[in-house]
Structure 1
Amino acid sequence: MAIYSERETWNMNQMHAHQLEGLKRTVTSAYHNVPFYHETFKDLHITPDDIQSLEDLQRLPFTQKHHLRENYPFNMLACPMEDVIRIHASSGTSGKPTVVAYTKNDIENWADIVARSIALAGGQKGDILHNAYGYGLFTGGLGLHAGSEKLGCATVPISGGNTANQITLIQDFKPKIICSTPSYLLNIGEAMMLQGIDPATTSLKHAILGAEPWSEEMRFQIEKLFQLKASDIYGLSEVMGPGIAMECAECQDGLHIADDHFLVEVINPDTLEPVDDGQYGELVFTSLSKEALPTIRYRTGDIASITKERCLCGRTTTRMSRVKGRIDDMLIIRGVNVFPSEIERYICDLEELVPHYQIHLQKKGHLDHVTLHVEVEQEFYKKLEMNFNHPMAEKLVKHLGQTIKMKTLISVEVRLKEPQSIPRSEGKAKRVLDERTKVMPSPRSFIR
């Protein structure tokens, strides 16, 4: 096991003492410098002096995305603008973007956190790292870039898109590590095969994949295709960016949270009460070292679980499960809740299919109707003689529909699609197309 920082093996007392110091610093900064927090604390009759233990975290208010939008662009800053050296923002497709800012210390801490993450995934100084995350206001590309350089990797800042050039540089530069969304790495592998290149023959040994939910079954597909280790990375710009948590290559059994920089909670989003370790709920993060934009109890909308059990790799940090999905991505079909990643796993289990799919939601009368478009594998398509009325195709459709019904309790109409017919993503894959005219109610009571 290669340990990047001794903090990864701190005992509970060491970590809790460090976290309490960071929590007090964060609360004090937010109270005195951010009007939103100052007024919210006053309404709750809380001052920084009231925070004397980690248990006092429960007394603090939650922060949500709409709070950042309502304070657009810079009213959440806890430092003067002259101390800010970087600004990132969300796309703003559903309203005002959420804006985050970083001081010099924030950027240095972030780079260190991501360097640790790359090391967790198997990277080391001297490796060539192919960074296919998007550069710009999205934090993924620049976040991985800074961490790669901090670790001492030779960083290829190719960004997303231009898949043909991605393949050329992978062939010519021979990187050991690739960073991208899992769906885009599958896209690259598929494009390689169309060029007659076996993805398993490349130099790639480690993949750092994130920015979208993905299943264990998709991990198996990627690792088999490229013959590498695929590890999950987690982050969100409102809390810092990529690197908040990272899976270790040794065990691939949960993502190690950077406990020295973030306090994590898991709550039931309906009751806002904490759930037990190992139970799924909404992830909530509090930053412990951020200067420009301290974050207190930020409700991420991401569904996962955490465990305090020590990982077999020897690190003692809290681990979180792979994100199951987002609350607002959860499908509610005739009263049944399901995440797209749950459907994905049953697609990946079938060798006749490839993990390129879209879920279409429609209304038939007053009832929801789900149509699953999924591509067949090229050789299987040939066996069908390019005819989806073939008995083997009908058998596959029936099997997948019955499996999804039995496992998730929702009925889907399965439609097989020919190879290369579903749009490919160069970033986050668009899995769900909601074609219903009526707006869905807010997701409730998701825990099963």
Structure 2
Amino acid sequence: MEAKFWNRHTETMPRAKLDALHLHRLQALCHYVYERSPFFRKKFDAARLKPGDIRTLEDFKRKVPITDKSEFIDQQLANPPYGPTLAMPEELIVHHCETSGTTGKPLAIPYTMYDTVRYGESWIYGMWALGIRPTDTFYFAFGWGNFAGFWSTYWAARRIGCRVISGGGLDTKGHINAIMRMKPTVLISTPTFALRMAAVASEMGVDVSKSSIKFTYHAGEPGPTALPAMREQIERAWGARAGELLGIAEVDAFAPGCPVGDGVHVNEMNNFTWSMDPNTGKEVAEGEIGENIITSYSNSAQPLLNYRSHDLVRRRMSCSCGRTWAKLEGAVLGRTDFMVTVRGTNVYQTAVENLIGEIPEVSNSYELVLTREEDNDAMTVKFEPVRTVNPDRWDDLARLMSDKIHKALHVRLKCEPVPPDTLPRYELKTKRIIDQRPKEFRRALDR
């Protein structure tokens, strides 16, 4: 129970052994998809590629076609529910989920029983490192729909052997009352909803920092490892340790949080990843920012090879925590499709969010509104001051925020205060980017 690692052997495996294991698995996976997936057989044939052509990791990265979410969605729309991407008889599918649809049309995700076990285990590495144990009780503060993210957390809780309490169907006050009555020790939610719950609890006269919650664990949007200011807010509000996992619903809960707290580690037992320059398609060196390209070993029903995440990451191959798995510093640094160039400067969502979080008089409710001005992308920050700030000072806050962003990012953004409770609240993924640009300037799936 006091072990530092959930699986010391795999989490600390030397790089040479990890790479040899990856090559063996990737070669087997290429044969599997060529034989079973009409989608991938067509992709391989179009590239004049045979599974036996993959002899090195470099062969896999360079020769196996890059795939994207839009391809899978198009196939599913043409032949619902899964189309030719399915590599398993449909009668072997035990669980159906979907992506949240925040980038457009949802993607259907089929899971076999094997997939659910592997997917659930991916969460446990980070949870265990944070201190969560089988004696803990999980409280799930969200509705049980088809969203894949927190279903996989449920599979993780069962794999550890923890007690599970569902908050499905309750409103925010109901969640607070259930936590105080049932006394769980682990809160599962999106990070912004954890802060929303704490704020509502305060209005109810409840101090959740004195509740039974010892740990909060999050996914679905940038959280404790991507935004240090948010981690401080959550831990202060709940009096608990906050952790985070980076996942992609259709791929895996592929990167559990690092116990050091400044990033996540790729679960290399379930995934092979590398970083690509999204403009050239070539691999970038360690320490450089590139798009995370993922191949999952845990999706036997709908395999994903060389799959574009559109997440911009900085990869390191060592960490003081002792894990040898690749580390993504700060989790996701930005998105290839959420980057805007404002007067010649590349501006990423997460960079702006980090700066906003450093201003204590600004609440956690804000939006980044994208528009086009004089043939250039423009970004306006709409934010809610905290309730205790006099409206006479709102304009001062806007100037402070604009100056802070200008000093750090070398670009001046318009910052616009709005009254508290003006911006929408979300239980699952918070929508930060409001894209009001003409359709031809938006991401393909948002058109």
Q: Is the 8 A contact 2:341 2:376 kept in 1?
A: no
Q: Is the 8 A contact 2:385 2:419 kept in 1?
A: yes
Q: CA deviation at 1:421?
A: 2.9
Select 1:71's aligned residue among 69, 75, 81. Answer: 75
Select 1:272's aligned residue among 260, 277, 281. Answer: 281
Query: How big is each residue's C-alpha offset from its partner over 1:204-240, in whole Å with a ceiling of 9 and x where there is no partner?
Result: 2222112112422222222222222212201112213
Select 1:222's aligned residue among 218, 225, 234. Answer: 234
Select 1:236's aligned residue among 243, 248, 258. Answer: 248
Q: Is the 8 A contact 2:340 2:377 kept in 1?
A: no
- Whole-angstrom CA distance in 2 between matches of 1:91 and 1:442: 16
Letter in 1 for 2:403: Q
TM-score by length of 2: 0.90
- Whole-angstrom CA distance in 1 between matches of 2:116 and 2:313: 27
- Whole-angstrom CA distance in 2 between matches of 1:369 and 1:160: 39
Match of 2:267 in 1: 258
Query: Does residue 249 of structure 2 align to residue 248 of structure 1?
Result: no
Query: Does residue 69 of structure 2 align to residue 61 of structure 1?
Result: no
Q: CA deviation at 1:185?
A: 0.8
C-alpha distance 78-394 of structure 1, shift in aligned 2 (>3 A): closer
C-alpha distance 106-336 of structure 1, shift in aligned 2 (>3 A): same
Deviates more, 1:427-436 or 1:180-189: 427-436
C-alpha distance 371-314 of structure 1, shift in aligned 2 (>3 A): closer
Deviates more, 1:414-423 or 1:366-375: 366-375
Gapped runs of 5+ residues in structure 1? 444-448
Map 1:26-425 → 2, pairs under 5 A: 26-58=29-61, 59-72=63-76, 73-91=82-100, 97-159=106-168, 162-214=171-223, 215-240=227-252, 243-249=253-259, 251-309=260-318, 311-321=319-329, 322-363=331-372, 369-379=378-388, 381=389, 384=390, 388=391, 390=392, 392-425=393-426
How many correspondences in the alignment? 431
Query: How big is each residue's C-alpha offset from its partner over 1:218-264, in whole Å with a ceiling of 9 and x where there is no partner?
Result: 22222222222212201112213xx2111133x11321211011001
- Whole-angstrom CA distance in 2 between matches of 1:132 and 1:332: 37
Q: Is the 8 A contact 1:213 1:324 kept in 2?
A: no
Query: How big is each residue's C-alpha offset from its partner over 1:282-313, in whole Å with a ceiling of 9 and x where there is no partner?
Result: 1111112432122110001111121111x322
Q: What's the C-alpha RMSD, in Å, of the aligned pairs?
A: 2.3
Match of 2:18 in 1: 15
Deviates more, 1:294-303 or 1:217-226: 217-226
Q: CA deviation at 1:144?
A: 0.3
**2:286 alignment partner, SS class:** coil
Letter in 1 for 2:154: H
- Whole-angstrom CA distance in 1 between matches of 2:206 and 2:50: 62
Letter in 2 for 1:70: D
Deviates more, 1:423-432 or 1:9-18: 9-18
- Whole-angstrom CA distance in 2 between matches of 1:112 and 1:367: 45
Q: CA deviation at 1:145?
A: 0.5
Q: CA deviation at 1:411?
A: 2.5
Letter in 1 for 2:317: K
Q: Is the 8 A contact 2:213 2:240 kept in 1?
A: yes
Q: CA deviation at 1:160?
A: 7.7
C-alpha distance 174-19 of structure 1, shift in aligned 2 (>3 A): same
Q: CA deviation at 1:438?
A: 5.6
Letter in 1 for 2:22: Q
**1:156 alignment partner, SS class:** strand
Q: Is the 8 A contact 2:345 2:410 kept in 1?
A: yes
Letter in 2 for 1:303: L
Q: Which has the higher contact order (CA 8 A, sep 6+)?
A: 1
Q: CA deviation at 1:363?
A: 5.0
- Whole-angstrom CA distance in 1 between matches of 2:286 and 2:326: 10
Letter in 2 for 1:8: E
- Whole-angstrom CA distance in 2 between matches of 1:260 and 1:177: 25
Q: CA deviation at 1:27?
A: 0.6
Identity %: 27
- Whole-angstrom CA distance in 2 between matches of 1:416 and 1:32: 57
Q: CA deviation at 1:279?
A: 1.5
